[in-house]
Structure 1
Amino acid sequence: MIGLIDTHQHLVYPDAAGYSWTKGIPVLAKNAFTLADYQALTEGLGIEATLFMETAVDDPDIAAETKLVSDLAKSSDSGIAGLIATCRPEIDKGFDAWLNDAKAQGAVGLRRILHVVDDDMSQSETFRANVRKIGANGMTFDMCFLARQLPLAAELADACPDTSLVLDHCGVPDIAGGGLDPWREDIRRLSDRPNVACKLSGILAYCAPENATLEAIRPYVDHVLEAFGPERMVWGSDWPVVDMANGIQDWLDVTRQILDELSDVEARFIAQETARRVYSIS
């Protein structure tokens, strides 16, 4: 069994930080999702290492979340190979200091969720200059755009050619609504940018209720495979958001089915090799 590097492991510690975005999502609201929980759920299922992905904590708690997970990662049995910390590239003041601080705490990349802000945020020169700084410091930038925003992702990639960008959740396609187009063409155009990789994660949560299946996501998986190729794809669990579908163990089963249909070399790229290259994991 090929070992997986989970590049999208969220952790939720309500006693340490606020997660206002979970309100109205019963499966997530007010619940803790700890490292111990994750390890218990994935024991024996082939997770070789993880990258913690910032969990969109309330702004006053950004530094607290990063320190909490940085401390967790210091344990030899944490399995955490690095952090993808949150950032605010739209604000120049203090950005350099945060970039250095996050890197010192084990961050291999940074993320700013962009589907919860105005579309023009990623188009500002301040934002783009700071994303270029991320690349200059040897770190990646994870892009979290909605399907309708994929042209913005292409523009950001063009403006930051020396920064390695990772498109989260295959660009959030509307699977429940059968939204293959224009997502399909926008994905193809984005894949023309050599500094962009695609993350196979999160997509079961975009299926219609009771239809979060391999069959439902197959057209979308097949298209990103064709557009990006396995050598430019990484894998992520998106736990615990994946609980909005059928949970992490089901997603791992679906993942294994997808990988089993590929050659060993192709499967290894998606499972771990691309992640090692993109995120500079030793």
Structure 2
Amino acid sequence: VEGLSRQPGSMLAGVIASCRPEEGDFAAYLERQRANPFVKGFRRVLHVAPDELSEGAVFRDSIKRLGGTGLTFDLVVLPHQIPKAIVLADLAPDVTFVLDHCGVPDIKGGAEHPWREHMSEIAWRPNVMAKISGVVAYADAGSWTVETLRPYVEHTINSFGWDRVVWGSDWPVCTLGGGLSTWVAATHALLSGCSIAERDRLLSGNARKLWRLD
């Protein structure tokens, strides 16, 4: 990926690298990546892992090691796992966390609870940001509309505020919900009543600041 970023016309500015905080060699891995300015943060997909994975001592110690590095950690969790994400955020208050995909709500099932309450709670943590992404993949691919997505996107933005949200394409997973162009169009429809300043912060400004992209 870094090699692709050096090609003429590339828009790649950095990477959120996969990692395994539960493994004992994470400290060495972290030191190697810190030497590479192209790496902006880390990601561990927890919604496909056992719930107790993030509760392990090695995992938690690894997350604490990110403190002071300027590297972020993406939280990819299901609604019932958000309380576990809250614990991580509280254990490492000097680490910036990014909650992916609006907390992975079950939009297809129309389930807003306890997702809604958990989102409000984790948003109280100033070291957690939210990514407005992925929601089309969790809706019914054949029938969702902008209004289907609106309660989930708006609650996320209202909970975190315009200074703590970033937009994400979730490509290629977004193809499960209609594709990238469809998600982009839905995003603009959802933001139709927002100010230019609010839109700019969500779509680029906050990400540039968070991952030092300028």
1:83 counterpart residue number: 15
Scaled by the length of structure 1, the TM-score of the pair is 0.73
Unaligned 5+ segments in structure 2 are none
2:213 counterpart residue number: 281
The list of structure 1 runs, each at least 4 consecutive aligned residues, that deviate by more than 3 angstroms after superposition, is none
| RMSD (Å) for aligned C-alpha atoms | 1.2
Q: Which structure would you say has the larger RCO, counting Cα contacts within 8 Å and 6 or more residues apart?
A: 1
Unaligned 5+ segments in structure 1 are 1-68
In the alignment of these two chains, the number of paired residues is 213
Which piece of structure 1 moves more, 71-80 or 214-223? Answer: 71-80
Q: For 1:254, which of 178, 186, 189 is the aligned residue?
A: 186
Query: C-alpha separation between the residues in 1 aligned to 2:66 and 2:144?
Result: 35
Superposition deviation, residue 76 in structure 1 = 3.8
Superposition deviation, residue 75 in structure 1 = 2.0
Which piece of structure 1 moves more, 217-226 or 130-139? Answer: 130-139
1:102 counterpart = 2:33? yes
Identity %: 42
What secondary structure is seen at the aligned counterpart in 1 of 2:93? Answer: coil
AA in 2 matched with 1:236: G
1:222 counterpart residue number: 154
Query: C-alpha separation between the residues in 2 aligned to 1:268 and 1:117?
Result: 35
1:112 counterpart residue number: 44
Superposition deviation, residue 101 in structure 1 = 2.6
2:139 counterpart residue number: 207
Query: C-alpha separation between the residues in 2 aligned to 1:247 and 1:92?
Result: 38
AA in 1 matched with 2:184: L
What secondary structure is seen at the aligned counterpart in 1 of 2:66? Answer: helix
AA in 1 matched with 2:33: A
Q: CA offsets, 1:159-202, max 9 Å, x none?
A: 11110000000010001111111100000000000000000000
Check whether the contact 1:146–1:173 (CA below 8 A) recurs between aligned residues.
Answer: yes
Q: Report matched runs for 1:46-195 at 5 Å.
A: 69-93=1-25, 95-105=26-36, 106-195=38-127
Superposition deviation, residue 141 in structure 1 = 0.3
Check whether the contact 2:141–2:176 (CA below 8 A) recurs between aligned residues.
Answer: no
Scaled by the length of structure 2, the TM-score of the pair is 0.95
Check whether the contact 1:140–1:164 (CA below 8 A) recurs between aligned residues.
Answer: yes
What secondary structure is seen at the aligned counterpart in 2 of 1:136? Answer: coil
What secondary structure is seen at the aligned counterpart in 2 of 1:197? Answer: strand
2:198 counterpart residue number: 266
AA in 1 matched with 2:29: W
Superposition deviation, residue 96 in structure 1 = 2.4
What secondary structure is seen at the aligned counterpart in 2 of 1:81? Answer: coil
